[in-house]
């Protein structure tokens, strides 16, 4: 039987995803998922450098051949989209709107499963009573709503990490709670004066108000608990390894939890149990890694190890810094506040309570529930974020795999003031909040605060960057013979949305300096934006390129029938032969006319100046 919590999550994710247009967040959701899958099934489309053999010195040794010269991406995640495209091809539905809708269903399913396993993880880490609160926080999380249903590789990484944590053998929560102990002790006093004095000395000013109903659920006999995750180390290791094969971001988390598990096993059960744990984990890890490698080999005909190649080029060779550098406080000052909007107030209380020893914990936080499993998870996440902060290149989404776990730390602070009332039996809104165990103010605040940002981000921001390809695919701007996108690299999807092998085209690229001198390396994007007017008058329709790359250019020299350009570029100008000429003037002079404009969201909120001014399509009329 399908769990009701999963059905609720699936229904809400469907309602929050499919009725809304697909918007643009980051190039990887297209060029690291949909584009390679489309290319694999249909045989045409664009493959970025991560999907090709990387240049290396031909020494013939194993490391250079399979790691340095390997490929950066595994097919674990992308094979799902390839399966969807194959089904559309077999059923002859790939010429319909399903070519862009069907892949989104995978994202919906991943998001719903993540919500469900967040629900189960709360039962394991805190108590069964925290599960519904965790599901509420997961479903109302703005970051989850905006990113989880997307085809970014962080989405399956988040799901697999949450599932692995559910089955990982954390220390079991003790059945007793501080709140119930205080109340029982206070009630055991015979004298009213003694009772009041004891409550005061224990910090229990009101018996009912101080009951922690979520924590008290740990007193429920295990056989009556309906939400649970049984400890299963082999399954946890396999799920964690799958996540690491997709992206190795969570390696510090599992290193910390693994070492802690071995230390505790040694202390409690001795050498033989520790050796058995190591053997079990090693076999599970090796089996999963081999299976992932075999899948990659079957789909590409090439033996390579993407996780090792990823680490070599991004960390050892520091290629990731090419796409921008961040400071060590980036995750603390930007990622965490963005991920945890709008529950900062409650989360920081719960997280500090879980991290600090009771001896130095502020008195205002000592009433919060802090089971051992929660404290261990808090330390592991802190260690992981600390390690990831050392990377020269960071993004908000790199912490997404930790978000389901981070949400749990807000629950003790949110639910502690909750009091059940008689109205819960008669009024629906009281009954719903009583089921969630969330008081009035935090319930409505957490529910309402993300609404406006969600609507803007999922209806307007970046919409034109995706919609333009849908408009072109439908033929609304006349027949397309060839297409060129003079935009920042990977600003629009490609054949995953065009789905037309007869369209010849190209866009500006921004390949990193792999196998070349980083000091002299220039990208097509940087060449173009340095002097766009000169380029249009002297080089177009050839792509901008370094002299060393000209021999490798395969683009057609024919004038493209359609151009995609951001509005910001149109008014850029240069002085040529003592005349000030704009990009708009150059396009008109080349015989182009603007035939489409799409608002792309507020310019103030664009992550690059080059993406301001909306998006336009120009068609050749000569």
Contact 125, 377 (CB under 8 A): yes
Note the pLDDT of residue 188.
Answer: 47
Angle CA(233)–CA(236)–CA(237) in degrees, nearest 5? Answer: 85
The DSSP output letter for 590 is T
Q: Which residues contact 82 (CB under 8 A, 6 or more apart)?
A: 37, 40, 41, 75, 299
CA dist 393 and 324 (Å) reads 6
Q: Residue 310 corresponds to which tokens in the numbers above?
A: 């990823």
Note the pLDDT of residue 218.
Answer: 67
Report the length, in residues, of the chain. 622
DSSP H or E segment with residue 485:
strand 482-485
Contact 600, 593 (CB under 8 A): no
The burial of 525, by beta-carbon neighbours within 10 Å (0-12 exposed, 13-18 middle, 19 or more buried), is given as buried
Note the pLDDT of residue 180.
Answer: 42
Beta bridge partners of 507: 485
The residue written with tokens 């989850």 in the block is 144
Contact 512, 591 (CB under 8 A): no
Note the pLDDT of residue 554.
Answer: 59
CA dist 453 and 506 (Å) reads 34
Each as own residue / partner, the long-range contacts of residues 153-156 (CB below 8 Å, 24 or more positions apart, any chain) are 153/28, 153/32, 153/33, 153/77, 153/246, 153/247, 154/247, 154/249, 154/397, 154/398, 154/400, 154/401, 155/107, 155/110, 155/111, 155/114, 155/400, 156/76, 156/77, 156/110, 156/243, 156/246
Residues of the chain with pLDDT under 70: 173-226, 421-431, 546-556
Helix (H, G, I), strand (E, B) or coil at 562: strand
Which value, to the nearest 10 degrees, does the dihedral of the CA atoms of residues 592, 597, 598, 599 take? 120
Helix (H, G, I), strand (E, B) or coil at 211: coil
Residue 10: count other Cβ atoms within 10 Å of its Cβ. 18
CA dist 293 and 74 (Å) reads 8
Note the pLDDT of residue 434.
Answer: 74
Residue 440: count other Cβ atoms within 10 Å of its Cβ. 12
Contact 496, 60 (CB under 8 A): no
Closest CA to 508 of 432, 550, 589, 564: 564
Q: Give the sheet arrangement for strand 615-620, strand by strand.
A: 504-507, 482-485, 562-566, 615-620, 592-598
φ and ψ of 173, to 5 deg: -65, 140
CA dist 504 and 105 (Å) reads 29
Closest CA to 76 of 36, 17, 118, 28: 36
CA dist 216 and 277 (Å) reads 32
Note the pLDDT of residue 56.
Answer: 80
- Exposure string over 229-240, b if 16+ CB within 10 A, otherwise e: beeebebbbbbb
CA dist 193 and 318 (Å) reads 69
φ and ψ of 54, to 5 deg: -85, 150
Q: Is the peptide bond before 342 cis (omega within 30 degrees of 0)?
A: yes
Closest CA to 163 of 105, 124, 126: 124
First to last CA, the chain: 63
């Amino acid at each position: 039987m399908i769990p009701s919590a999963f059905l609720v999550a699936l229904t809400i994710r469907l309602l929050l995803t499919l009725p809304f247009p697909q918007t643009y967040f980051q190039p990887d959701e297209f060029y690291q998922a949909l584009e390679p899958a489309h290319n694999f099934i249909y045989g045409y489309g664009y493959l970025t450098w991560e999907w090709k053999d990387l240049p290396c010195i031909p020494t013939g040794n194993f490391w250079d051949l399979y790691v340095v010269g390997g490929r950066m991406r595994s097919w674990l995640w992308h094979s799902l989209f390839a399966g969807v495209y194959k089904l559309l091809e077999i059923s002859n539905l790939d010429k319909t709107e399903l070519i862009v809708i069907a892949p989104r269903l995978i994202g919906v399913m991943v998001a719903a499963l993540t919500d469900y396993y967040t629900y189960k993880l709360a039962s394991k880490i805190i108590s069964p009573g925290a599960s519904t609160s965790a599901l509420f926080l997961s479903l109302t999380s703005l970051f989850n709503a905006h990113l989880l249903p997307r085809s970014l590789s962080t989405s399956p990484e988040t799901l697999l990490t949450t599932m692995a944590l559910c089955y990982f053998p954390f220390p079991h929560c003790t059945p007793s709670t501080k709140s119930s102990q205080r109340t029982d002790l206070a009630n055991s006093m015979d004298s009213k004066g003694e009772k009041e004095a004891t409550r005061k000395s224990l910090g229990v000013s009101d018996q009912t108000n101080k009951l922690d109903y979520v924590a008290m659920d740990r007193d429920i006999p295990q056989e009556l608990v309906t939400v649970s995750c049984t400890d299963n180390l082999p399954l946890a290791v396999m799920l964690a390894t799958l996540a690491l094969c997709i992206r190795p971001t969570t390696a510090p988390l599992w290193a910390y939890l693994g070492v802690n598990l071995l230390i505790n096993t040694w202390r409690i059960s001795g050498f033989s149990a520790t050796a058995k744990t190591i053997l079990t984990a090693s076999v599970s890890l090796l089996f999963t890694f081999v299976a992932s490698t075999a899948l990659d080999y079957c789909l590409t005909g090439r033996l390579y190890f993407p996780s090792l190649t990823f680490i070599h080029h991004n960390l050892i060779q520091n290629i990731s810094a090419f796409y921008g550098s961040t400071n060590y406080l980036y995750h603390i000052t930007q990622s965490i506040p963005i991920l945890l909007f709008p529950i900062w107030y409650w989360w920081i209380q719960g997280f500090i309570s879980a991290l600090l020893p009771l001896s130095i914990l502020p008195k205002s936080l000592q009433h919060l529930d802090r089971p051992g499993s929660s404290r261990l998870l808090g330390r592991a996440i802190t260690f992981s974020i600390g390690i990831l902060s050392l990377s020269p290149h960071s993004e908000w989404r790199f912490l997404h795999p930790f978000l389901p776990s981070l949400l749990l730390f807000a629950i003790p602070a949110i639910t502690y003031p909750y009091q059940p009332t008689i109205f819960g039996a008669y009024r629906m809104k009281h009954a719903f909040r009583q089921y969630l165990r969330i008081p009035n103010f935090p319930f409505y605040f957490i529910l309402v605060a993300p609404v406006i940002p969600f609507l803007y981000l999922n209806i307007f921001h970046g919409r034109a960057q995706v919609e333009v390809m849908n408009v072109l695919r439908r033929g609304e701007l006349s027949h397309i013979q060839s297409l060129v996108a003079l935009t920042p690299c990977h600003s629009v999807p490609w054949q995953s949305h065009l789905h037309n092998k007869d369209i010849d085209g190209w866009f500006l690229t921004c390949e990193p300096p792999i196998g070349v001198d980083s000091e002299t390396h220039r990208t097509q994007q940087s060449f173009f934006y340095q002097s766009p007017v000169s380029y249009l008058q002297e080089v177009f329709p050839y792509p901008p390129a370094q002299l060393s790359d000209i021999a490798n250019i395969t683009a057609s020299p024919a004038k493209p029938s359609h151009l995609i350009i951001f509005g910001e570029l149109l008014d850029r100008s240069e002085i040529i032969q003592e005349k000030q000429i704009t990009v708009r003037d150059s396009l008109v002079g080349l015989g182009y006319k603007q035939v489409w404009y799409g608002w792309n969201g507020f310019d103030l909120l664009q992550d690059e100046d080059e993406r301001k001014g909306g998006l336009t399509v120009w068609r050749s009329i000569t």
